[in-house]
């Protein structure tokens, strides 16, 4: 990697925040959509800027698991999809959106060539996805409403499974379809499987994953959170400006199992947009309420964003 690009990434602020915590935990999940955070972790930008803070980076299997960590006060900053966040917000979990990570098209992939639409799924067939309240499940429910006339028609087919295990289960026939995420869906299609459903066709271009922060933690450490946000902004810009160098980091994070050239091609895809402004959140919230997933919806994005002036209120 070019020295200057690393230096530019590390120089987030000239002066450190004076309210940094002694220790904090940052949680995210497997997949391309967490590339911004992986770049931050691989460069050690936070550790270099805040040497007095112990940073615990943990990987969990779903946003529901991240939410549980917030409820238990074990996670201060976490990343995941919008529906589980909204469910938590509706139930009083004290968290808010710090920034979007990206907009990504999420695919429902099948191996059986006879499966083309949701109407082709039989009662005993199983669909793997991270959790019953994930963006994957919500996409299937909205498509089920459109194709089958009932948003909950396939609820009993949903199997909660992490992305890598779901990819393996699809390959051996334990799942009939898998609603996963980049890059797992790309690898499934590369192996000969096919796409049944795309989330951009269901919701339009929408935020896939975002970064959430514990409200009290943010209130106690405002300068630190502002520095975290700007480090995330630098990492997001780095991904777009230096895809080759970023791909090398992602390949290293993946343990060398996937070549950097694959990561570079994935982060350059037109349906992979690294952006910190949330998109489609209110649409998702309204649909969730319409099918009984929420008791209320935010009055506006300002009700659920930590500080709309940091990144733009979004929609």
Q: Are strands 177-179 and 209-214 parallel, antiparallel or unpaired?
A: unpaired
CATH code for position 241: 3.40.190.10
Instruction: Mark out the alpha helices in the chain (DSSP H runs).
Output: 3-10, 35-43, 45-49, 63-71, 82-90, 135-148, 163-171, 184-190, 199-203, 215-220, 222-241, 243-253, 260-267, 281-290, 308-311
Domain assignment of residue 95, given as a range: 3-104+206-311
Q: Is the pTM of this model over 0.85?
A: yes
Query: In terms of domains, do 210 and 144 share one?
Result: no
Confidence of residue 32 (pLDDT cuts 50, 70, 90): very high
pLDDT of residue 267 exceeding 50? yes
Angle made by CA atoms 303, 135, 228, in degrees to the nearest 5: 55
Please report the pLDDT score of residue 314 as a whole number.
Answer: 77
Q: Are strands 158-160 and 127-129 parallel, antiparallel or unpaired?
A: parallel
Please report the pLDDT score of residue 312 as a whole number.
Answer: 54
**Domain boundary residue among 203, 223, 243?**
203
Rounded distance between C-alpha atoms, residue 250 and residue 306, angstroms: 28
Please report the pLDDT score of residue 12 as a whole number.
Answer: 41
Please report the pLDDT score of residue 30 as a whole number.
Answer: 86
pLDDT of residue 247 exceeding 50? yes
**Domain boundary residue among 153, 179, 203?**
203
Our count of domains for the chain comes to: 2
Residues 6+ apart with CB under 8 A from 77: 24, 25, 26, 27, 98, 211, 212, 213, 214, 217, 228
Which three-class secondary structure state does DSSP give residue 143? helix
Please report the pLDDT score of residue 9 as a whole number.
Answer: 41
Mean pLDDT, residues 191-208 taken together: 96
**Domain boundary residue among 203, 232, 252?**
203
Query: In terms of domains, do 153 and 223 share one?
Result: no
Please report the pLDDT score of residue 3 as a whole number.
Answer: 39
pLDDT of residue 167 exceeding 90? yes
pLDDT of residue 201 exceeding 50? yes
Please report the pLDDT score of residue 17 as a whole number.
Answer: 61
Mean pLDDT, residues 255-260 taken together: 88
Rounded distance between C-alpha atoms, residue 186 and residue 193, angstroms: 9
Q: What is the largest CA-CA distance in the chain?
A: 60
Cis link prior to 183 (omega < 30° from 0)? yes
Query: In terms of domains, do 215 and 266 share one?
Result: yes
Query: In terms of domains, do 96 and 224 share one?
Result: yes
């Amino acid at each position: 990697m070019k020295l200057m690009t690393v230096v530019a990434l590390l120089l987030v602020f000239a002066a450190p925040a004076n309210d940094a915590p002694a220790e904090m935990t940052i949680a995210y999940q497997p997949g391309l959509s967490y590339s911004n955070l992986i770049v931050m972790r691989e460069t050690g930008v936070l550790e270099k800027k805040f040497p007095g803070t112990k940073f615990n980076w943990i990987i969990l299997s779903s946003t529901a698991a991240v939410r549980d960590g917030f409820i238990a006060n074990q996670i201060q900053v976490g990343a995941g999809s919008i529906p589980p966040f909204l469910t938590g917000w509706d139930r009083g979990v004290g968290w808010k959106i710090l920034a979007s990570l990206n907009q990504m098209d999420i695919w429902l992939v099948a191996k059986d060539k006879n499966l083309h639409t949701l109407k082709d799924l039989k009662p005993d067939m199983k669909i793997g996805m991270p959790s019953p309240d994930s963006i994957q499940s919500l996409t299937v429910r909205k498509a089920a409403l459109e194709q089958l006339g009932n948003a909950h028609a396939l609820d009993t087919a949903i199997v909660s499974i992490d992305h890598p295990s779901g990819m393996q289960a699809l390959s051996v026939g334990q799942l009939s379809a898998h609603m996963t995420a980049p890059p797992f869906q790309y690898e499934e299609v590369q192996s000969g499987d096919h796409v049944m459903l795309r989330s951009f066709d269901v919701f339009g271009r929408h935020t896939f994953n975002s970064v959430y922060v514990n409200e009290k933690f943010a209130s106690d450490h405002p300068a630190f959170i502002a520095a975290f946000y700007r480090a995330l902004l630098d990492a997001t810009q780095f991904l777009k400006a230096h895809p080759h160098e970023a791909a090398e980091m992602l390949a290293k994070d993946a343990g060398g199992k996937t070549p950097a050239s694959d990561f570079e091609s994935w982060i350059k895809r037109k349906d992979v947009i690294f952006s910190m402004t949330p998109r489609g959140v209110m649409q998702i919230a309204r649909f969730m309420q319409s099918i009984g997933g929420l008791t209320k919806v935010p009055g506006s994005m300002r009700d659920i964003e930590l500080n709309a002036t940091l990144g733009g209120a979004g929609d």
